[in-house]
Structure 1
Amino acid sequence: MTTLDRTTFPLTGTTRPAVAVRVINAIANLLRAWKNRRAVYRLGAMTDWELADIGLTRGDLHVAWREPFGVDPTTTLGTLAEARAVQAMRDATERAARQVC
């Protein structure tokens, strides 16, 4: 831990994040969310087939677009795609188990 990460207040004896570091992190997160939001808008130009190749649907894009501005929409898309992949794996496993019996 560096002195840039934490500032010690001598009167209280506690350690708190430096204000400058918190402001810089907030700005960096906002810029990252803005950049990723633009990328999600570009995904809207893809066909449904292309979206399916990366594990998404057009509905997933609409869910991500409805997120508040400060929220990174790519995390929402990642969660939706991962959940769909897990469900597909479960379905495949269940189909294989039914074929054996």
Structure 2
Amino acid sequence: MATYDFATETSRITTRPAVATRVANAVANAYRAWKNRRAFYRLGEMSDAEFADIGLTRADLHVANVPFGRDPTVRLRAIATGRADTIEDLARKVA
């Protein structure tokens, strides 16, 4: 058996787990996005005081409403983080 033959054999063996891993990751990501989308829809039931506690407004739900295959909580996290950073910057300028 030449070195070339061994390298060819090895590459066929290692590609199957990689494909299985990619499929498993895709399924896991789809399930996570589905769960987060359900939680996103339940946010509409919160009061304005509860929104203020987590650093969001009711209008942020409309801004973060993304197409079905994507995760809206990622957009909400970015909005809340950006708002918190802005508030901290303003507080530093006042002090």
- For normalisation by structure 2, the TM-score amounts to 0.79
- Aligned residue pairs total 87
Greater relative contact order (Cα 8 A, min sep 6): structure 1 or 2? 2
Moved over 6 A (4+): none
Q: Which has the higher strand share?
A: 1
Q: Which residue in the other structure is 1:82 paired with? A: 81
Q: Secondary structure at the match of 1:76?
A: helix
Q: Which residue in the other structure is 2:29 paired with? A: 29
Q: Which residue in the other structure is 2:50 paired with? A: 50
Q: Secondary structure at the match of 2:56?
A: coil
Instruction: Quote the Cα distance in structure 2 between the aligned partners of 1:24 and 1:49.
Output: 39
In structure 1, give the amino acid aligned to 2:35: K
Q: Percent identity?
A: 59
Instruction: Quote the Cα distance in structure 1 between the aligned partners of 2:21 and 2:64.
Output: 29
Which sections of structure 1, spanning at least 5 residues, go unmatched? 1-8, 97-101
1:69–1:10 Cα change, 3 Å: farther
Q: Which has the higher helix share?
A: 2
Q: Secondary structure at the match of 2:82?
A: helix
Instruction: Quote the Cα distance in structure 1 between the aligned partners of 2:28 and 2:69.
Output: 11
Which sections of structure 2, spanning at least 5 residues, go unmatched? 1-6
Q: Deviations over 1:62-87 (max 9, x none)?
A: 1222x122221111111110000000
